[in-house]
Amino acid sequence: MPQHITRRDFLRLAGLGGGAALLGAAAPGGPAAAGSGPAAARWSPGAISGRTSRIATSDLATRLLVVLEMGGGNDGLSMAPPVDAEALRAMRPTAFPDLEALLRPGNDVVLHPALTRLQQRALTLVDGVGSPAPDLSHFEMMRRWWAGDPDGTAGPTTGFLGRLCDVLADGAPVTGLSIGGASTPALISERAGTLGLPELWWLEWLDDDDDDWAMAFRDGLSTMTTPVDGDTDALSLARRGLATGLRLGDMAIDLPESSGYPDTTLGANLALASRLIDADLGVRILHVVVDGDFDTHESHLDRHSTLMTELDDALDAFLGDLDERGHGDRVLVATTSEFGRRPEQNGDDGLDHGTASTVLLAGPVPRQRVGEPPSLADLDDDGNVVSTISMDRYYATLAESWFGIPASDVLSGTPRPVDGIW
């Protein structure tokens, strides 16, 4: 365990409480107001009270969602290549796997050669997911995905996952939880308790009574939870959020350990997610940061293969763990990334920023491919594929088809779910 706390480490651990503080009470102009559109164009959901009653059956009321965020721009064309990949291979002579090595488990599902374990599982691939008005900036597209704002004009003051939490909240201290970093804007909510937890080793270190550094740091965090006369509403909320995070961390440490996970950051984060799901603490949405840089401008083939191997090992272990614990039928895993990669490689054997991508659903889903694969013969003016499914339709599928929440309750307009998944 570390004996020296870096500034970066402190900021990551501080996210433990920042989630509940910043994500639990969004307000225009506050931390949630990240939209780039004019104030008059901002959209906010209607009154939230009573929405929980829309979840009609006990089956829907026990469902959970785990979102895997692949920061940097995951190349969906490599993770789940098209059925006929010859044209793509021609555009990427040194940045695409050998065609003979692609995995074809059936029903038009095609996977990267590194996904050997996941090919044995039922996965649904959703092709062509992106924005109708793409932007090649990491920051702008991440903001849109966090907010559920596909073209950047709606400007909601809460995050998409936070709005789901507002509907799903049933009085539990925490409805939405981010694991693996500081709090995420995707979980900014109006009233639900949402927060971020660092990696488990941080919590274990804080629990070490024999480490003077750990005890001093924990005492400092505990002191920060104590109300002081003159606290603003925001500061008071931050203190309560930090206190909730520390209590949740204490509970997580005492949960039975998970086994069979790879010794990677993603493996540790998903192991913690499984333990929290099994503890049934009221958390309905878990956001997990996939450690690794998917921004593969150079040496894409080797770098992306390493990332896919880590995903394969960790996600397969997680799904198997959930099955053993009896939760496999009620936990849906969904991937997100700000954008895909260009179909044609660059001069560094890499792939530059793209637009639409293929996303993956795992858990209680059929083995299938849905959506419409973008055409490699009909690219946009910048040489990128054109999205065939807007991200809000993908999100509408998670809200309406999985949770039974009308898409219009949590998204601007009336986006319809992707057909044919359930």
Binned at pLDDT 50, 70 and 90, residue 411 comes out as very high
Measure the CA–CA gap between 379 and 156, rounded to whole angstroms: 30
Binned at pLDDT 50, 70 and 90, residue 182 comes out as low
Answer for the pair 225, 195: CB distance below 8 angstroms, yes or no: no
pLDDT in tens, 332-380: 999 999 999 999 999 999 999 999 999 999 999 999 999 999 999 999 9
* pLDDT for res 204: 63
Answer for the pair 290, 268: CB distance below 8 angstroms, yes or no: no
Answer for the pair 109, 369: CB distance below 8 angstroms, yes or no: yes
Domains delineated in the chain: 58-202+262-410 (3.40.720)
DSSP letters of 143-198?
HHHHHT-TTS-S--SS-HHHHHHHHH--S-S-SEEEESSS--GGG--SSS-EEEE-
Give the pLDDT mean for 102-125. Answer: 98
DSSP-based helix, strand, coil % in the chain, nearest 5: 40, 15, 45
Beta-bridge partners for 289 = 69
Mean pLDDT, the chain, integer: 84
* pLDDT for res 104: 98
Measure the CA–CA gap between 18 and 4, rounded to whole angstroms: 22
pLDDT in tens, 229-238: 888 877 776 7
Give the pLDDT mean for 294-320. Answer: 98
pLDDT in tens, 3-33: 344 444 444 444 444 333 333 344 333 333 3
Higher pLDDT, 197 or 67: 67
Judged by DSSP in three states, 258 sits in: coil
State the virtual CA torsion across 107, 405, 74, 321 in degrees, nearest 10: -70
Answer for the pair 272, 252: CB distance below 8 angstroms, yes or no: yes
* pLDDT for res 72: 97
Beta-bridge partners for 196 = 178
Tell me 400's DSSP state.
I
Higher pLDDT, 202 or 307: 307
Pick the most confident of 19-28, 33-42, 381-390.
381-390
- Give the number of other CB atoms < 10 A from CB of residue 382: 12
Measure the CA–CA gap between 60 and 419, rounded to whole angstroms: 19
pLDDT in tens, 246-290: 666 666 666 667 789 999 999 999 998 999 999 898 999 999 999
Using alpha carbons only, what angle is made at residue 146 by residues 142 and 150, rounded to the nearest 5 degrees? 75
Q: How far is CA 211 from CA 1, 189, 198, 217, in A?
A: 9, 36, 19, 10
Measure the CA–CA gap between 75 and 165, rounded to whole angstroms: 29
Q: What is the pTM of this model?
A: 0.84
Judged by DSSP in three states, 336 sits in: strand
Binned at pLDDT 50, 70 and 90, residue 46 comes out as very low
Structure token pair of residue 299: 């040496």
Helices (H), 255-380: 265-279, 300-325
Q: What is the CA radius of gyration of the chain?
A: 21
Measure the CA–CA gap between 252 and 273, rounded to whole angstroms: 10
